[in-house]
Structures are given as C-alpha cells and as structure tokens.
Amino acid sequence: MKDDKTTHFGYRNVREEEKSSLVAGVFHSVAARYDLMNDLMSGGIHRIWKRITIEMAGARVGHHVLDVAGGTGDLSARFADVVGREGRVVLSDINESMLRVGRDKLIDTGYGANIDYCLADAEQLPFEDQSFDCVTIGFGLRNVTHKDRALESMLRVLKPGGRLLVLEFSKPTNEGLAKLYDAYSFSLLPKIGKFVANDEDSYRYLAESIRMHPDQDTLRDMMEDAGFVRCDYHNLTGGIVALHRGFKA
C-alpha cells in the first residue's frame, strides 16, 4: 500500500518523501547569498545569537564537536577556535550546496586543520555512538521532516554528559513584538529575498517554516521525550529566537 503520510512545507501539506527535496531546492537556491541575507535579515544580530550558543556549549580544548545543518560554517569556525588543534569539529549538512559554500569559506579564511566536512542527514547521522562532546544545530531543526528522529540521532552520537544546543527561530513572548515580526516576515523579508537573492519564494517559505516550528515549551518537551535530561531554553531578542539546551545522562 502506498504511504501517503504528509507533513508541512511552510504552510503547504506535502508527502513526507517530498519534503527533503523541496527543502533542498530552497537551500540550493539561497546558498550563494546565505551569509549576506543573514546579515540583512537580522541586522547582524545573528552573530550575537551564535556567540551566546558558543558560550553555552561548554566546549573546551580537545573536545569533539558536531555542527549539524551547519551550512556556511559560522558556528564551526568559532568552535574550531575553542577546541584548538587537539580537538575536532565536524561541519555537517544535508545540502551539498550549503556544505560546499561553508567549506570554501572556512578554507579561504584559514580554517581547515581541525575541521572535517560531512554530507549528512540529521535524522540518520553517520557517526559512531558517543563520538562527540557537544552537538549543535543552528537554524536547521525546523527544516527536518522528523524532528524526533533527529533529536534521537543527536543524542546517540553524544558522549555521556555531553550537551545539545538547538538555536532556532521561535515564538515572540510579547504580542506587540509578534505583530511587528509577522509584518516584517511576510511583507518585507520576501522582497529583500527577491532584491538580493532573486528568490522571493524561498524566503516566503523560510518565514512560513518558522511559524510551523514548535514553540519553546513544545520543543523542550520533545527533547525530553528523545531522552535528553536537564532541558531548558533561553529566549533571545524577545523570543524571536530561542536557544534550547539538553544533556545526555
């Protein structure tokens, strides 16, 4: 019997097996201008969000860190500095275009000695059990079809005592801010995408995917259901972004 399970792609319902290729199309399209658009969309604030993520990750010299859906490598570069030559960072992404842009950027800026690159699906990470001291996924979980499977996969590759950091767009905590954010996301953001990246549709999808992502409490509960302990989250910029953290027992 044909499997007709559906999931969301932005506000559209699609068959589960279609979502990965649709998401891939979005990121193939935006990869070349991804960093520029990040700066424009957030006014550069994304750099502060990522710095806080690094600070809360607890990585130290010699640690092994996995940056899932690491895209153009912002977090990987910062972790490479932290873990030093004795440590290792793996930049992974399911999208070949994003991974290529990230690899080229890091190599061009002098990184590479302690960074590896891996084309990988977050739901089925191709690493041995208990391989990493820290796992991060920044602005990638909302694009995963089966988030529960991805969380379980990330738990599996963590060492006991290791931690997961999930940096993701979330739900503003103030009603006024939420209205302003909606107006920006659905009116201005697609136009910026059209002007800068010649791709209005992809940035409309990105705005929709944020709205379909679980809120702060729901994602914390999902992490606990996957087996993480001592789960918490920190709202950033009024809850527009939330940083979730969980540990492996």
φ, ψ (nearest 5 deg) of residue 161: 90, -10
Q: Which residue has the tokens 């800026």?
A: 109
Name the CATH architecture for the domain at 6-173+205-247: 3-Layer(aba) Sandwich (3.40)
Q: How far apart are CA 84 and CA 238, in angstroms?
A: 34
196, two tokens: 């800068």
- Is a pLDDT exceeding 70 seen at residue 115? yes
Over the stretch 187-243, which tens digit does the pLDDT of each residue have? 988 888 888 777 888 888 888 999 999 999 999 999 999 999 999 999 999 999 999
Give percent helix, percent strand, percent coil of the chain, each to the nearest 5. Answer: 50, 25, 25
Q: What confidence tier does 150 reach under pLDDT thresholds 50, 70, 90?
A: very high
Which structure tokens are listed for 160?
A: 């006991």
Dist CA 71 CA 200 (whole Å): 20
Q: Which residues contact 148 (CB under 8 A, 6 or more apart)?
A: 222, 225, 226
Question: pTM for this one?
Answer: 0.93
pLDDT score of 209: 92
